[in-house]
Amino acid sequence: MLTIVLDHKSKIPLYEQLYREIRSLISEGELAAGERLPSERGLAANLQISRNTVTLAYEQLYAEGYVDARPQSGYYVNKIDRINNEGSLKFSDIKNEESSLKQDYKYDFSPFSLCKESFPYKMWDRLYRQCLRDGGEELFNLGERQGDLKLRQSIARYLFGYRGLVIKPENMIIGAGTGYLLQILEHLIDEKYSFAMENPTYMQAYKIFSSLNRKIEPINLDEGGLKVNELYNTEAKVVYLTPAHQFPTGVVMPIARRKELLGWALKEKDRYIIEDDHDSEFRYKGLPIPPMKAIDTKDKVIYLGTFSRTIAPAIRIGFMVLPDTLFEVYRKKLAFLACPVPRIEQAVLTAFITGGHYERHINKTRKIYKTRHDALISALKGFGNKVCIMGENAGMHLVVRFNYRLTEKELMEVAERLGIKVAGLSKHRIGKEDANTYLAALLIGYGNISEENIKEGMGVLKKELDNLDL
């Protein structure tokens, strides 16, 4: 009979303990191949447990191939090739890569951080439970491949009210963030066509396009955003841009430049504009400029939006609105793809939008970010002519050029030493990085840092830079 000790006080079920013990004996060779296991009744009696517990353990061993079941005879050990475990790692030996590389910062000026305190935890929890109660098991069935129609309709209504957009919910695709949607889009554009992108640009988009061997044409910026005249000098058929608040510089593209860009797209039937409207909600001076999609009368704009930049990074829900021509390509080539966003999450977001909670959340967070934005502007004034600020009217970060005798790389090292988390502008440039040039530039965010820490953090940085610049 097997020598096995079970812990009846353990939270691990008895059948699982038994399964693990027998599996270990087989793996270690203490139970030889072909050896018959004790009968279910006999082992149950010996261990003083129910026969059903033994049956469950044996069935699990059988399912995983450790034993073979022979009718009217019982369970027999299968031959298992043993792996030499000498010197092998234990779980306790494996370091958590993320935690080992994680830097603790006292002042979080990351441009990608959002205000954690503003997340509507109680409302989200209430809506989650409500959706589970009302939707029941239907929420765990496969839904519409483009995303649930109710969510698409609620987004369309919101965009009409807030952004003045008239869009077709049937042309909208829901996806797990902008990155997923860009990969979908990439497969809808003829592979021989090159893409144009702002330079500097949103690097996730650049990495997605370039990883798929798409030729990228970088286009320089001026005070009005992407230089359309340079676009004409390329072979690009598609241009990706962030006109509401250019990432990372913060430039807001004026109406005249937007119309000029639409004119470029109209020159050829297979030209398109990808408009990533990622944080248009956060504008602090004047009213938001209508998106390019709102003035697109010829269906040349592919419109992208995300809730990861307005609600929380973990809300991996974005949407893409395709022109009719590209939607037809999607329907023929990729309509078989299932929506990667769980239906329960789609249902909660739908309720969040239709109940007016999303709009209230935006209004609340806009006030918070405006206050922190003003606090950062005020703190930077203390640097005098040593800094030059860009992109101060929208978004959740500023681009700040520092006139010290330090390269961008050196400035980043100083900030890290002081426990200040920032990002370098050069990391967002296509082509040769300029981290080693003078006139360093940083992206300084204010989404997840208090006004007090903004003032204190910038004060610490100024004091250190002044000492180094003597």
pLDDT of residue 436: 57
Say which CATH number the domain at 226 has.
3.40.640.10
pLDDT of residue 432: 64
Residue 88 domain-assigned (yes or no): no
The residue out of 23, 56, 77 marking a domain boundary is 77
Q: By C-alpha distance, which of 237, 197, 200, 192 is closest to 217?
A: 197
- Report the range of poorest mean pLDDT among 136-140, 169-173, 430-434, 459-463: 430-434
User: What residues make up the domain containing 422?
Assistant: 107-116+361-468
Work out the angle between the directed axes of helices 14-27 and 51-63 (0-180°, nearest 10). Answer: 50
pLDDT of residue 437: 53
For the segment 386-395, the average pLDDT, to the nearest whole number, is: 86
Distance of CA 376 to the CA centre of its chain: 26
Distance of CA 225 to the CA centre of its chain: 25
Q: By C-alpha distance, which of 392, 425, 442, 447 is closest to 252?
A: 392
Task: Please indicate, yes or no, whether residues 273 and 138 belong to a single structural domain of this protein.
Answer: yes
Over residues 187-229, the pLDDT tens digits come to: 999 989 999 999 999 999 999 998 888 899 999 999 999 999 9
Task: Please indicate, yes or no, whether residues 44 and 188 belong to a single structural domain of this protein.
Answer: no
Residue 249, exposed/middle/buried by CB under 10 A (0-12, 13-18, 19+)?
buried
Q: By C-alpha distance, which of 458, 395, 392 is closest to 421?
A: 458
pLDDT of residue 150: 96
Say which CATH number the domain at 460 has.
3.90.1150.10
Q: What percent of the chain has pLDDT over 70?
A: 92
* pLDDT tier at 421, thresholds 50, 70, 90: very high
Task: Please indicate, yes or no, whether residues 215 and 313 belong to a single structural domain of this protein.
Answer: yes
The residue out of 359, 388, 411 marking a domain boundary is 359
Q: By C-alpha distance, which of 233, 232, 240 is closest to 216?
A: 240
pLDDT of residue 433: 58
What is the greatest pairwise CA distance in the chain?
91
Task: Please indicate, yes or no, whether residues 298 and 372 belong to a single structural domain of this protein.
Answer: no
Contact between 307 and 273 under an 8 Å Cβ cutoff? The reply is: no
CA torsion, ordered 184, 188, 192, 195, to nearest 10 deg: -60
Q: By C-alpha distance, which of 274, 330, 331, 339 is closest to 300?
A: 274
Say which CATH number the domain at 54 has.
1.10.10.10
Task: Please indicate, yes or no, whether residues 449 and 329 belong to a single structural domain of this protein.
Answer: no
Residue 215 CA to residue 210 CA, distance in Å, equals: 7
Helix (H) or strand (E) run with residue 365 in it = helix 357-381
Residue 389 domain-assigned (yes or no): yes
Task: Please indicate, yes or no, whether residues 341 and 374 belong to a single structural domain of this protein.
Answer: no
DSSP conformational letter for 168 = -
pLDDT of residue 159: 92
Task: Please indicate, yes or no, whether residues 256 and 325 belong to a single structural domain of this protein.
Answer: yes
Residue 125 domain-assigned (yes or no): yes
| Burial state string for 263-294 with b = 16 or more CB within 10 A and e = fewer than 16 | ebbeeeeebbbbbbbbbbbbbeeeebbebbbb
Amino acid at 389: I
DSSP 3-state of 304: strand
Task: Please indicate, yes or no, whether residues 144 and 283 belong to a single structural domain of this protein.
Answer: yes
Residue 347 domain-assigned (yes or no): yes
Task: Please indicate, yes or no, whether residues 195 and 313 belong to a single structural domain of this protein.
Answer: yes
The residue out of 336, 359, 382 marking a domain boundary is 359
Residue 171 to residues 34, 252, 303, 328, 330, Cα–Cα distance (Å) = 61, 27, 10, 9, 10
Q: Residue 375 has which token pair? A: 């606090």
Top pLDDT among 4 and 462 is at 462
Residue 2 domain-assigned (yes or no): no
Residue 143 domain-assigned (yes or no): yes
Residue 230 domain-assigned (yes or no): yes
3-class SS shares of the chain: helix, strand, coil, % to 5? 45, 15, 40
Residue 215 domain-assigned (yes or no): yes
Task: Please indicate, yes or no, whether residues 298 and 240 belong to a single structural domain of this protein.
Answer: yes
pLDDT over threshold 90, residue 345: yes
pLDDT over threshold 50, residue 299: yes
Task: Please indicate, yes or no, whether residues 340 and 446 belong to a single structural domain of this protein.
Answer: no
**pTM attached to this predicted model:** 0.76
pLDDT of residue 81: 64
Task: Please indicate, yes or no, whether residues 174 and 320 belong to a single structural domain of this protein.
Answer: yes
Q: How many domains, the chain?
A: 3
Q: What percent of the chain has pLDDT over 90?
A: 56
